[in-house]
Structure 1
């Protein structure tokens, strides 16, 4: 009888640990959204890996800028287009360093809009007026990466995937974004 009870307790414990392990990124994603909505900078500081997020944003925005420049006939035909392509990443780097702050993250999370290729961050909606109706999709991309995809129901082009990365067994941090969520 004791052996069966002990086996049941061990099985329940393992199931509980696996359940918490699987739910941990969802809880972190919800905490990030709540902190952004409240403007809780201290909570965002704890939940976001800002150096990793800045590097991710620089890469994403550089890719967008290069793609835009390649598709713009004015840049392709212009002799200075190559110079703009070379200098663009410098400007993006500076802009990202400036805007990826707790306030900038809060603005991105509450509007589902990332900075433009020029680094301009969306403004936070005024409470009660023009607040976006956000659809949230949750899902693992791998065992160590979890995506919270935010989409403005009224403006589906406003979407942003927040990528949480595992930091230990149960700890997750916002460390990247994916601007190409379509």
Structure 2
């Protein structure tokens, strides 16, 4: 009986380790597959669109406020103020299953809407950085490690992961 309990505990620990290390890559792969297939319902399983929209709006508005503070030109400030009013509808229009599909496939929405055949899409390589047990950051691997890039932030949702934010803090604005 004791060996049975130890075996069950060992099997559970191994299963947990496999899940812990492989589930982020599995979620990223499933997101890519849903994008290639054009399966909006499956894509929504891996993306928290409400959280993603709010995060993007807040980050872009904060970046614009910083730029407005730097600008001495009153007309520049007026332009930025007009731009601030355009952020919400712009993000609401982009952060949809179709918009995320276009971003993930690096195609325009027009190309996807035209029914243009999607060639075999090369799966990007990802650097995955665990922030905590329930949060991770995924960066696309690039040839230049110093290249500024946005991080996709995933939060654990049960046994899976959902994209909840795209961190734009490393991306310069207006330069």
- TM-score normalised by L of structure 1: 0.72
Do the aligned partners of residues 152 and 128 (structure 1) sit closer, same or farther apart at CA in structure 2, a change above 3 Å counting?
farther
Do the aligned partners of residues 19 and 134 (structure 1) sit closer, same or farther apart at CA in structure 2, a change above 3 Å counting?
closer
Unaligned runs of 5+ in 1: 112-121
Counterpart CA distance in 1 for 2:93 and 2:157 is 25
Counterpart CA distance in 2 for 1:152 and 1:105 is 20
Partner of 1:7: 6
The answer to whether residue 93 in structure 2 is matched with residue 98 in structure 1 is yes
Deviates more, 1:78-87 or 1:34-43: 78-87
- TM-score normalised by L of structure 2: 0.74
The answer to whether residue 153 in structure 2 is matched with residue 163 in structure 1 is yes
Partner of 2:108: 123
Partner of 2:46: 47
Counterpart CA distance in 2 for 1:16 and 1:38 is 30
Counterpart CA distance in 2 for 1:36 and 1:157 is 25
Partner of 2:133: 143
Query: How big is the alpha-carbon RMSD for the aligned residues of Structure 1 and Structure 2?
Result: 3.2
Deviates more, 1:30-39 or 1:77-86: 77-86
Counterpart CA distance in 1 for 2:69 and 2:100 is 29
Counterpart CA distance in 2 for 1:158 and 1:103 is 25
Deviates more, 1:21-30 or 1:132-141: 132-141
The answer to whether residue 84 in structure 2 is matched with residue 89 in structure 1 is yes
Do the aligned partners of residues 132 and 12 (structure 1) sit closer, same or farther apart at CA in structure 2, a change above 3 Å counting?
closer
Question: What is the deviation of 1:128?
Answer: 4.4
Which residues of 2 match residues 67-86 of structure 1 at below 5 A?
67-70=66-69, 76-86=71-81
Q: Residue 74 of structure 2: SS of its match in structure 1?
A: coil
Deviates more, 1:132-141 or 1:4-13: 132-141
Partner of 2:22: 23
Q: Residue 80 of structure 1: SS of its match in structure 2?
A: helix
Unaligned runs of 5+ in 2: none
What are the superposed Cα offsets for residues 119-169 of structure 1, whole Å, 9 maximum, x if unpaired? xxx72677449x788442222122221122125659x9684321111223x
